[in-house]
Amino acid sequence: MELVSSIVEGINNCLWGIPMIGLLFGTHLFLTFRTGFIQRRTFTGIRLSVTRDPDSHGDISQFAALTTALASTIGTGNIIGVGTAIALGGPGAVLWCWLTGVFGIATKYGESLIAVKYRVRTKDGTMLGGAMYALERGLGMRWLGITFAVLGTLTSFGIGCGVQVNAISSIVNSNVAPVIMAGSEGLKSFLATYPWSISLAVGLVTGGITCLVIFGGVKSIARVCEKLVPFMAFFYVMGCLVILFINRAFLGQTLSVIFKSAFTEVRSIAGGLAGTGIMMSARYGIARGLFSNESGMGSAPIVAAAAQTRNPVRQALVSATGTFWDTVVVCLMTGLVLVSSIIGHDTINVTNLSGGELTNAAFSLIPYIGQPILIVGIITFAYSTILGWSYYGERCLEYLMGKRGVIPYRVAWIAVLVAAPVMQLELVWSIADTLNALMAIPNLIAVLLLSGVIAKETKYYLANLDERDNALIPLIGDQGVLPLLKK
Protein backbone atom coordinates (compact mmCIF):
# COMPACT_ATOMS: atom_id res chain seq x y z
CA MET A 1 0.00 0.00 0.00
CA GLU A 2 2.87 2.37 0.76
CA LEU A 3 4.33 1.61 -2.66
CA VAL A 4 1.02 2.44 -4.35
CA SER A 5 0.75 5.67 -2.34
CA SER A 6 4.25 6.76 -3.31
CA ILE A 7 3.58 6.00 -6.99
CA VAL A 8 0.33 7.98 -6.96
CA GLU A 9 2.04 10.84 -5.15
CA GLY A 10 4.79 10.92 -7.78
CA ILE A 11 2.19 11.03 -10.57
CA ASN A 12 0.39 13.88 -8.82
CA ASN A 13 3.59 15.88 -8.42
CA CYS A 14 4.05 15.55 -12.18
CA LEU A 15 0.44 16.22 -13.18
CA TRP A 16 -0.06 19.14 -10.83
CA GLY A 17 3.36 20.65 -11.47
CA ILE A 18 4.33 23.59 -13.63
CA PRO A 19 3.04 22.06 -16.93
CA MET A 20 -0.56 21.60 -15.71
CA ILE A 21 -0.62 24.94 -13.93
CA GLY A 22 0.79 26.56 -17.06
CA LEU A 23 -1.79 24.83 -19.27
CA LEU A 24 -4.74 25.87 -17.13
CA PHE A 25 -3.61 29.43 -16.46
CA GLY A 26 -2.51 29.78 -20.07
CA THR A 27 -6.00 28.72 -21.20
CA HIS A 28 -7.48 31.32 -18.84
CA LEU A 29 -5.36 34.05 -20.45
CA PHE A 30 -5.98 32.84 -24.02
CA LEU A 31 -9.78 32.77 -23.60
CA THR A 32 -9.74 36.12 -21.84
CA PHE A 33 -8.33 37.70 -25.02
CA ARG A 34 -10.31 35.42 -27.37
CA THR A 35 -13.62 36.50 -25.82
CA GLY A 36 -12.70 40.17 -25.67
CA PHE A 37 -12.31 40.20 -21.87
CA ILE A 38 -15.64 38.58 -21.07
CA GLN A 39 -14.95 39.40 -17.42
CA ARG A 40 -16.40 42.83 -18.20
CA ARG A 41 -19.81 41.15 -18.38
CA THR A 42 -19.64 39.59 -14.90
CA PHE A 43 -22.32 41.83 -13.41
CA THR A 44 -24.53 41.21 -16.44
CA GLY A 45 -24.18 37.52 -15.67
CA ILE A 46 -25.11 38.08 -12.04
CA ARG A 47 -28.27 39.88 -13.12
CA LEU A 48 -29.14 37.20 -15.66
CA SER A 49 -28.74 34.51 -12.99
CA VAL A 50 -31.87 35.77 -11.24
CA THR A 51 -33.81 36.53 -14.46
CA ARG A 52 -35.84 33.76 -16.05
CA ASP A 53 -35.66 33.11 -19.78
CA PRO A 54 -39.27 32.49 -20.89
CA ASP A 55 -40.14 29.88 -23.53
CA SER A 56 -36.68 28.29 -23.26
CA HIS A 57 -35.64 24.64 -23.16
CA GLY A 58 -34.09 23.07 -20.07
CA ASP A 59 -34.70 21.15 -16.86
CA ILE A 60 -33.94 23.77 -14.19
CA SER A 61 -33.69 27.55 -13.95
CA GLN A 62 -30.43 29.35 -14.63
CA PHE A 63 -30.14 30.29 -10.96
CA ALA A 64 -30.66 26.65 -9.95
CA ALA A 65 -27.95 25.57 -12.39
CA LEU A 66 -25.59 28.18 -10.96
CA THR A 67 -26.21 27.24 -7.32
CA THR A 68 -25.82 23.53 -8.12
CA ALA A 69 -22.46 24.29 -9.75
CA LEU A 70 -21.47 26.46 -6.79
CA ALA A 71 -22.48 23.63 -4.47
CA SER A 72 -19.63 21.54 -5.83
CA THR A 73 -17.04 24.30 -6.20
CA ILE A 74 -17.53 26.16 -2.91
CA GLY A 75 -16.10 23.48 -0.65
CA THR A 76 -13.71 22.87 2.19
CA GLY A 77 -10.88 24.03 -0.09
CA ASN A 78 -12.19 27.59 0.24
CA ILE A 79 -11.72 27.34 4.00
CA ILE A 80 -8.76 25.03 4.53
CA GLY A 81 -7.06 25.21 1.14
CA VAL A 82 -6.42 28.96 1.26
CA GLY A 83 -4.79 28.53 4.67
CA THR A 84 -2.55 25.82 3.24
CA ALA A 85 -1.58 28.09 0.32
CA ILE A 86 -0.59 30.88 2.74
CA ALA A 87 1.36 28.50 4.97
CA LEU A 88 3.34 27.09 2.03
CA GLY A 89 3.45 30.01 -0.40
CA GLY A 90 3.34 33.03 1.88
CA PRO A 91 0.76 35.84 1.92
CA GLY A 92 1.41 36.62 -1.75
CA ALA A 93 -0.40 33.38 -2.61
CA VAL A 94 -3.67 35.21 -1.85
CA LEU A 95 -3.10 37.60 -4.77
CA TRP A 96 -2.19 34.80 -7.19
CA CYS A 97 -5.25 32.82 -6.09
CA TRP A 98 -7.42 35.89 -6.74
CA LEU A 99 -5.88 36.53 -10.17
CA THR A 100 -6.50 32.90 -11.10
CA GLY A 101 -10.16 33.45 -10.31
CA VAL A 102 -10.35 36.66 -12.33
CA PHE A 103 -8.86 35.11 -15.47
CA GLY A 104 -10.58 31.77 -14.82
CA ILE A 105 -13.93 33.46 -15.43
CA ALA A 106 -13.16 33.33 -19.17
CA THR A 107 -12.50 29.58 -19.15
CA LYS A 108 -15.63 28.84 -17.14
CA TYR A 109 -17.54 30.96 -19.66
CA GLY A 110 -16.08 29.12 -22.65
CA GLU A 111 -16.58 25.58 -21.36
CA SER A 112 -20.15 26.37 -20.29
CA LEU A 113 -20.97 27.88 -23.69
CA ILE A 114 -19.97 24.76 -25.62
CA ALA A 115 -21.70 22.53 -23.04
CA VAL A 116 -25.03 24.24 -23.78
CA LYS A 117 -24.44 24.57 -27.51
CA TYR A 118 -23.78 20.87 -28.04
CA ARG A 119 -26.21 19.48 -25.47
CA VAL A 120 -28.76 16.82 -26.40
CA ARG A 121 -32.28 15.99 -25.29
CA THR A 122 -33.32 12.45 -24.36
CA LYS A 123 -36.65 10.81 -25.21
CA ASP A 124 -38.08 11.89 -21.86
CA GLY A 125 -37.06 15.51 -22.46
CA THR A 126 -34.03 15.58 -20.14
CA MET A 127 -31.13 17.80 -21.20
CA LEU A 128 -27.64 16.28 -21.23
CA GLY A 129 -24.42 18.13 -21.91
CA GLY A 130 -20.81 18.67 -20.96
CA ALA A 131 -17.34 18.20 -22.40
CA MET A 132 -18.17 14.67 -23.59
CA TYR A 133 -20.95 15.95 -25.86
CA ALA A 134 -18.86 18.90 -27.06
CA LEU A 135 -16.03 16.53 -27.97
CA GLU A 136 -18.41 14.15 -29.78
CA ARG A 137 -20.69 16.63 -31.55
CA GLY A 138 -18.39 19.60 -31.98
CA LEU A 139 -15.14 17.83 -32.82
CA GLY A 140 -16.15 14.27 -33.79
CA MET A 141 -13.90 12.89 -31.03
CA ARG A 142 -16.25 10.46 -29.29
CA TRP A 143 -13.33 8.40 -27.97
CA LEU A 144 -12.08 11.43 -26.05
CA GLY A 145 -15.60 12.14 -24.82
CA ILE A 146 -15.72 8.58 -23.45
CA THR A 147 -12.36 9.16 -21.75
CA PHE A 148 -13.68 12.30 -20.07
CA ALA A 149 -16.86 10.53 -18.94
CA VAL A 150 -14.95 7.59 -17.44
CA LEU A 151 -12.62 9.93 -15.55
CA GLY A 152 -15.56 12.08 -14.40
CA THR A 153 -17.44 9.06 -13.06
CA LEU A 154 -14.45 7.77 -11.12
CA THR A 155 -13.49 11.21 -9.83
CA SER A 156 -16.98 11.82 -8.48
CA PHE A 157 -16.72 8.93 -6.01
CA GLY A 158 -13.43 10.24 -4.66
CA ILE A 159 -13.24 14.00 -4.46
CA GLY A 160 -17.01 14.48 -4.66
CA CYS A 161 -18.19 11.81 -2.28
CA GLY A 162 -15.73 9.87 -0.09
CA VAL A 163 -13.42 12.67 0.96
CA GLN A 164 -16.30 15.10 1.56
CA VAL A 165 -18.24 12.86 3.94
CA ASN A 166 -14.93 12.02 5.61
CA ALA A 167 -14.39 15.74 6.21
CA ILE A 168 -17.84 15.98 7.81
CA SER A 169 -17.02 12.97 9.97
CA SER A 170 -13.72 14.49 11.08
CA ILE A 171 -15.29 17.78 12.17
CA VAL A 172 -18.10 15.98 14.02
CA ASN A 173 -15.66 13.62 15.74
CA SER A 174 -13.37 16.43 16.86
CA ASN A 175 -16.26 18.42 18.34
CA VAL A 176 -18.82 15.83 19.46
CA ALA A 177 -16.58 13.07 20.80
CA PRO A 178 -14.94 15.28 23.50
CA VAL A 179 -18.39 16.33 24.74
CA ILE A 180 -19.50 12.71 24.97
CA MET A 181 -16.25 11.66 26.63
CA ALA A 182 -16.85 14.31 29.29
CA GLY A 183 -20.41 13.05 29.83
CA SER A 184 -21.73 9.77 31.18
CA GLU A 185 -19.39 6.89 31.88
CA GLY A 186 -21.61 4.57 29.87
CA LEU A 187 -21.22 6.60 26.66
CA LYS A 188 -17.53 7.02 27.35
CA SER A 189 -17.11 3.27 27.68
CA PHE A 190 -19.16 2.67 24.52
CA LEU A 191 -16.95 5.03 22.48
CA ALA A 192 -13.82 3.41 23.86
CA THR A 193 -15.12 0.01 22.72
CA TYR A 194 -16.50 1.19 19.37
CA PRO A 195 -14.42 4.24 18.37
CA TRP A 196 -15.85 4.14 14.85
CA SER A 197 -19.47 4.51 16.01
CA ILE A 198 -19.71 8.30 15.55
CA SER A 199 -18.16 8.05 12.08
CA LEU A 200 -20.64 5.35 11.11
CA ALA A 201 -23.51 7.44 12.43
CA VAL A 202 -22.33 10.38 10.31
CA GLY A 203 -22.23 8.11 7.26
CA LEU A 204 -25.71 6.74 7.88
CA VAL A 205 -27.26 10.18 8.46
CA THR A 206 -25.49 11.75 5.48
CA GLY A 207 -26.36 8.80 3.27
CA GLY A 208 -30.01 8.85 4.34
CA ILE A 209 -30.45 12.59 3.72
CA THR A 210 -28.62 12.40 0.40
CA CYS A 211 -30.74 9.45 -0.70
CA LEU A 212 -33.89 11.54 -0.31
CA VAL A 213 -32.37 14.26 -2.49
CA ILE A 214 -30.56 12.53 -5.35
CA PHE A 215 -33.29 9.97 -6.11
CA GLY A 216 -35.45 12.96 -7.03
CA GLY A 217 -33.10 13.78 -9.91
CA VAL A 218 -31.61 17.10 -10.93
CA LYS A 219 -34.72 19.10 -10.00
CA SER A 220 -34.57 17.80 -6.44
CA ILE A 221 -30.83 18.47 -6.19
CA ALA A 222 -31.30 21.97 -7.60
CA ARG A 223 -34.11 22.81 -5.14
CA VAL A 224 -31.86 21.94 -2.19
CA CYS A 225 -28.86 23.78 -3.64
CA GLU A 226 -30.95 26.90 -4.34
CA LYS A 227 -31.64 27.16 -0.61
CA LEU A 228 -28.42 25.75 0.86
CA VAL A 229 -25.77 27.55 -1.19
CA PRO A 230 -26.91 31.17 -0.58
CA PHE A 231 -27.34 30.38 3.14
CA MET A 232 -23.95 28.76 3.62
CA ALA A 233 -22.10 31.40 1.60
CA PHE A 234 -23.81 34.28 3.42
CA PHE A 235 -23.23 32.61 6.80
CA TYR A 236 -19.53 32.13 6.12
CA VAL A 237 -18.94 35.55 4.54
CA MET A 238 -20.64 37.29 7.48
CA GLY A 239 -18.24 35.49 9.81
CA CYS A 240 -15.33 36.71 7.67
CA LEU A 241 -16.63 40.29 7.77
CA VAL A 242 -16.83 40.18 11.57
CA ILE A 243 -13.20 39.04 11.78
CA LEU A 244 -12.11 41.73 9.31
CA PHE A 245 -13.87 44.30 11.49
CA ILE A 246 -11.98 42.98 14.52
CA ASN A 247 -8.74 43.24 12.49
CA ARG A 248 -9.63 46.56 10.84
CA ALA A 249 -6.52 48.29 12.20
CA PHE A 250 -4.33 45.84 10.26
CA LEU A 251 -6.12 45.78 6.90
CA GLY A 252 -3.89 48.39 5.28
CA GLN A 253 -0.78 46.47 6.27
CA THR A 254 -2.44 43.23 5.17
CA LEU A 255 -3.03 44.47 1.62
CA SER A 256 0.50 45.89 1.42
CA VAL A 257 2.06 42.61 2.57
CA ILE A 258 -0.03 40.52 0.14
CA PHE A 259 0.97 42.65 -2.86
CA LYS A 260 4.63 42.94 -1.91
CA SER A 261 5.14 39.28 -1.09
CA ALA A 262 3.48 38.19 -4.34
CA PHE A 263 6.48 39.55 -6.27
CA THR A 264 9.29 39.81 -3.73
CA GLU A 265 10.52 38.09 -0.60
CA VAL A 266 9.29 39.81 2.56
CA ARG A 267 11.54 38.26 5.16
CA SER A 268 9.72 39.01 8.40
CA ILE A 269 6.17 40.11 9.07
CA ALA A 270 4.48 38.58 12.09
CA GLY A 271 3.55 35.20 13.49
CA GLY A 272 6.25 33.50 11.44
CA LEU A 273 4.64 34.90 8.25
CA ALA A 274 7.11 35.66 5.51
CA GLY A 275 7.22 35.85 1.76
CA THR A 276 8.64 32.92 -0.18
CA GLY A 277 9.51 34.59 -3.46
CA ILE A 278 7.49 34.90 -6.63
CA MET A 279 7.80 31.26 -7.77
CA MET A 280 6.54 29.61 -4.56
CA SER A 281 3.92 32.29 -4.02
CA ALA A 282 2.59 31.94 -7.56
CA ARG A 283 2.74 28.13 -7.52
CA TYR A 284 0.63 27.63 -4.41
CA GLY A 285 -1.69 30.57 -5.06
CA ILE A 286 -2.46 29.53 -8.64
CA ALA A 287 -2.82 25.85 -7.71
CA ARG A 288 -5.23 26.70 -4.90
CA GLY A 289 -7.27 28.93 -7.19
CA LEU A 290 -7.47 26.23 -9.85
CA PHE A 291 -8.57 23.60 -7.35
CA SER A 292 -11.11 25.95 -5.82
CA ASN A 293 -13.03 27.28 -8.83
CA GLU A 294 -12.66 24.22 -11.11
CA SER A 295 -12.41 26.46 -14.18
CA GLY A 296 -11.09 24.22 -16.92
CA MET A 297 -11.98 20.97 -15.14
CA GLY A 298 -15.19 20.46 -17.10
CA SER A 299 -17.39 19.69 -14.08
CA ALA A 300 -19.67 22.72 -13.72
CA PRO A 301 -20.67 22.84 -17.44
CA ILE A 302 -22.42 19.48 -16.97
CA VAL A 303 -25.14 21.14 -14.91
CA ALA A 304 -25.03 24.32 -16.99
CA ALA A 305 -26.33 22.20 -19.88
CA ALA A 306 -29.51 21.48 -17.90
CA ALA A 307 -30.42 25.16 -17.55
CA GLN A 308 -33.50 26.72 -19.12
CA THR A 309 -31.91 29.08 -21.60
CA ARG A 310 -32.59 30.32 -25.12
CA ASN A 311 -28.98 30.36 -26.23
CA PRO A 312 -25.61 29.16 -24.94
CA VAL A 313 -24.11 32.61 -24.42
CA ARG A 314 -26.71 33.61 -21.84
CA GLN A 315 -26.06 30.56 -19.65
CA ALA A 316 -22.31 30.88 -20.15
CA LEU A 317 -22.46 34.39 -18.69
CA VAL A 318 -24.38 33.05 -15.70
CA SER A 319 -22.05 30.08 -15.17
CA ALA A 320 -18.98 32.31 -15.33
CA THR A 321 -20.18 34.15 -12.22
CA GLY A 322 -19.58 30.92 -10.29
CA THR A 323 -15.84 31.48 -10.52
CA PHE A 324 -16.36 35.08 -9.44
CA TRP A 325 -18.24 34.07 -6.29
CA ASP A 326 -16.01 31.13 -5.46
CA THR A 327 -12.53 32.58 -5.87
CA VAL A 328 -12.77 36.33 -6.39
CA VAL A 329 -15.07 36.70 -3.35
CA VAL A 330 -14.98 33.70 -0.97
CA CYS A 331 -11.30 32.75 -1.33
CA LEU A 332 -10.27 36.40 -1.16
CA MET A 333 -12.28 36.88 2.04
CA THR A 334 -10.60 33.85 3.59
CA GLY A 335 -7.16 35.09 2.57
CA LEU A 336 -7.70 38.56 4.03
CA VAL A 337 -9.03 37.04 7.25
CA LEU A 338 -6.02 34.76 7.69
CA VAL A 339 -3.27 37.24 6.81
CA SER A 340 -4.77 40.06 8.92
CA SER A 341 -5.22 37.66 11.86
CA ILE A 342 -1.62 36.47 11.65
CA ILE A 343 -0.33 40.06 11.46
CA GLY A 344 -2.56 41.37 14.25
CA HIS A 345 -2.45 38.56 16.81
CA ASP A 346 0.72 37.06 18.26
CA THR A 347 -1.10 33.90 19.32
CA ILE A 348 -1.64 32.89 15.67
CA ASN A 349 1.66 31.62 14.32
CA VAL A 350 1.87 30.23 10.81
CA THR A 351 4.99 28.21 11.57
CA ASN A 352 3.16 26.09 14.13
CA LEU A 353 -0.24 25.65 12.45
CA SER A 354 -1.54 23.85 9.37
CA GLY A 355 -3.97 25.45 6.92
CA GLY A 356 -7.02 24.15 8.77
CA GLU A 357 -5.62 25.14 12.15
CA LEU A 358 -4.90 28.65 10.87
CA THR A 359 -8.52 29.08 9.83
CA ASN A 360 -9.74 27.66 13.13
CA ALA A 361 -7.51 30.07 15.06
CA ALA A 362 -8.74 33.04 13.03
CA PHE A 363 -12.42 32.22 13.61
CA SER A 364 -11.70 31.79 17.32
CA LEU A 365 -11.28 35.58 17.39
CA ILE A 366 -15.09 35.81 17.31
CA PRO A 367 -16.21 35.24 20.94
CA TYR A 368 -18.43 32.20 21.58
CA ILE A 369 -19.79 31.72 18.05
CA GLY A 370 -16.61 31.81 15.96
CA GLN A 371 -15.92 28.08 15.97
CA PRO A 372 -19.59 27.12 15.52
CA ILE A 373 -19.65 29.34 12.40
CA LEU A 374 -16.61 27.52 11.05
CA ILE A 375 -18.04 24.09 11.90
CA VAL A 376 -21.34 24.86 10.17
CA GLY A 377 -19.39 26.25 7.21
CA ILE A 378 -17.26 23.14 6.78
CA ILE A 379 -20.22 20.75 7.12
CA THR A 380 -22.48 22.65 4.70
CA PHE A 381 -19.66 23.27 2.21
CA ALA A 382 -18.76 19.57 2.21
CA TYR A 383 -22.38 18.38 1.96
CA SER A 384 -23.19 20.74 -0.90
CA THR A 385 -20.17 19.34 -2.77
CA ILE A 386 -21.62 15.84 -2.31
CA LEU A 387 -24.86 16.92 -3.99
CA GLY A 388 -23.20 18.75 -6.87
CA TRP A 389 -20.76 15.98 -7.71
CA SER A 390 -23.45 13.29 -7.48
CA TYR A 391 -25.08 14.93 -10.51
CA TYR A 392 -21.79 15.28 -12.41
CA GLY A 393 -20.87 11.63 -11.96
CA GLU A 394 -24.38 10.44 -12.82
CA ARG A 395 -24.41 12.36 -16.09
CA CYS A 396 -20.96 11.04 -17.03
CA LEU A 397 -22.10 7.47 -16.41
CA GLU A 398 -25.32 8.07 -18.33
CA TYR A 399 -23.23 9.15 -21.31
CA LEU A 400 -21.46 5.79 -21.13
CA MET A 401 -24.34 3.44 -20.28
CA GLY A 402 -27.59 5.29 -20.85
CA LYS A 403 -30.48 5.38 -18.37
CA ARG A 404 -29.81 1.87 -17.11
CA GLY A 405 -26.74 3.09 -15.23
CA VAL A 406 -28.52 5.80 -13.22
CA ILE A 407 -30.11 3.76 -10.40
CA PRO A 408 -27.04 1.56 -9.76
CA TYR A 409 -24.92 4.72 -9.66
CA ARG A 410 -27.15 6.32 -7.03
CA VAL A 411 -27.14 3.17 -4.90
CA ALA A 412 -23.34 3.00 -5.10
CA TRP A 413 -23.12 6.69 -4.19
CA ILE A 414 -25.12 6.15 -0.99
CA ALA A 415 -23.04 3.09 -0.13
CA VAL A 416 -19.80 5.08 -0.40
CA LEU A 417 -21.27 7.84 1.79
CA VAL A 418 -22.05 5.29 4.52
CA ALA A 419 -18.71 3.46 4.35
CA ALA A 420 -16.24 6.30 3.73
CA PRO A 421 -16.30 7.90 7.22
CA VAL A 422 -14.84 4.74 8.79
CA MET A 423 -12.11 4.41 6.15
CA GLN A 424 -8.68 5.99 5.80
CA LEU A 425 -8.95 8.10 2.66
CA GLU A 426 -5.46 9.53 2.15
CA LEU A 427 -4.87 7.27 -0.86
CA VAL A 428 -8.36 8.01 -2.20
CA TRP A 429 -7.57 11.74 -1.98
CA SER A 430 -4.38 11.25 -3.97
CA ILE A 431 -6.08 9.10 -6.62
CA ALA A 432 -8.90 11.66 -6.90
CA ASP A 433 -6.33 14.41 -7.48
CA THR A 434 -4.82 12.32 -10.28
CA LEU A 435 -8.19 11.69 -11.93
CA ASN A 436 -9.13 15.36 -11.56
CA ALA A 437 -6.01 16.44 -13.44
CA LEU A 438 -6.56 13.83 -16.16
CA MET A 439 -10.21 14.90 -16.42
CA ALA A 440 -9.13 18.46 -17.20
CA ILE A 441 -7.04 17.49 -20.23
CA PRO A 442 -9.85 16.39 -22.63
CA ASN A 443 -11.98 19.31 -21.45
CA LEU A 444 -9.22 21.80 -22.22
CA ILE A 445 -8.76 20.19 -25.65
CA ALA A 446 -12.46 20.80 -26.34
CA VAL A 447 -12.31 24.40 -25.12
CA LEU A 448 -9.17 25.30 -27.06
CA LEU A 449 -10.17 23.60 -30.33
CA LEU A 450 -13.65 25.13 -30.15
CA SER A 451 -12.40 28.57 -29.11
CA GLY A 452 -13.32 29.87 -32.56
CA VAL A 453 -16.93 28.81 -32.00
CA ILE A 454 -16.85 30.41 -28.56
CA ALA A 455 -15.55 33.70 -29.97
CA LYS A 456 -18.06 33.69 -32.87
CA GLU A 457 -21.08 33.04 -30.65
CA THR A 458 -19.91 35.67 -28.17
CA LYS A 459 -19.36 38.32 -30.82
CA TYR A 460 -22.79 37.77 -32.37
CA TYR A 461 -24.67 37.85 -29.09
CA LEU A 462 -22.92 40.87 -27.61
CA ALA A 463 -23.24 42.78 -30.87
CA ASN A 464 -27.02 42.36 -30.64
CA LEU A 465 -27.28 43.26 -26.99
CA ASP A 466 -30.46 45.18 -26.17
CA GLU A 467 -30.27 47.46 -23.14
CA ARG A 468 -33.93 46.91 -22.26
CA ASP A 469 -33.66 43.12 -22.32
CA ASN A 470 -30.12 41.95 -22.86
CA ALA A 471 -31.04 38.31 -22.30
CA LEU A 472 -33.73 37.39 -24.78
CA ILE A 473 -32.14 37.77 -28.21
CA PRO A 474 -31.81 34.27 -29.71
CA LEU A 475 -28.93 33.23 -31.92
CA ILE A 476 -30.07 32.72 -35.53
CA GLY A 477 -28.84 31.29 -38.81
CA ASP A 478 -25.50 29.52 -38.84
CA GLN A 479 -24.82 31.09 -35.43
CA GLY A 480 -27.67 29.20 -33.81
CA VAL A 481 -27.71 26.34 -31.37
CA LEU A 482 -27.59 22.97 -33.12
CA PRO A 483 -30.90 21.06 -33.19
CA LEU A 484 -31.41 18.96 -30.11
CA LEU A 485 -30.98 15.26 -30.71
CA LYS A 486 -33.01 12.30 -29.56
CA LYS A 487 -30.79 9.95 -27.66
CATH of the domain at 198: 1.20.1740.10
Number of helices followed by number of strands (H, E) in the chain: 24, 2
Q: Is residue 487 part of a domain?
A: no
Give the single-character DSSP code of 298: S
Q: Which residues, other chains included, contact 172 with Cβ-Cβ below 8 Å and sequence gap of 6+?
A: 198, 202, 379
| Length of the chain measured in residues | 487
Q: Is residue 474 part of a domain?
A: no
| DSSP H/E element including 128 | strand 127-128
Mean pLDDT by 10 residues, the chain (487 residues): 73 76 90 94 89 74 87 76 79 88 94 93 86 94 95 88 83 72 65 72 90 89 88 88 92 89 65 56 75 84 88 90 90 90 77 70 84 85 90 93 91 91 70 80 95 92 57 38 41
Give the Cα separation of 134 and 139 in Å (integer).
7
Q: Is residue 159 part of a domain?
A: yes
Q: Which residues, other chains included, contact 35 with Cβ-Cβ below 8 Å and sequence gap of 6+?
A: 106, 109, 110, 454, 455, 458
Tell me the whole-structure pTM to 2 decimals. Answer: 0.87
Domain hosting residue 407, numbered range? 1-463
Instruction: Provide the CB-side half-sphere exposure for 31 (13 A, CA).
Output: 35
**What pLDDT is stored for residue 138 in this prediction?**
93
Give the Cα separation of 6 and 3 in Å (integer).
5
CA angle 64, 67, 68 (to 5 degrees): 85
Q: Is residue 481 part of a domain?
A: no
Helix, strand or coil for residue 57?
A: strand
Q: Is residue 468 part of a domain?
A: no
The tally of domains found in the chain comes to 1
Bridge partners (DSSP) listed for residue 270: 273
Q: Which residues, other chains included, contact 481 with Cβ-Cβ below 8 Å and sequence gap of 6+?
A: 116, 117, 311, 312, 475
Helix, strand or coil for residue 309?
A: strand
Q: Is residue 285 part of a domain?
A: yes
Q: Is residue 477 part of a domain?
A: no
Q: Is residue 470 part of a domain?
A: no
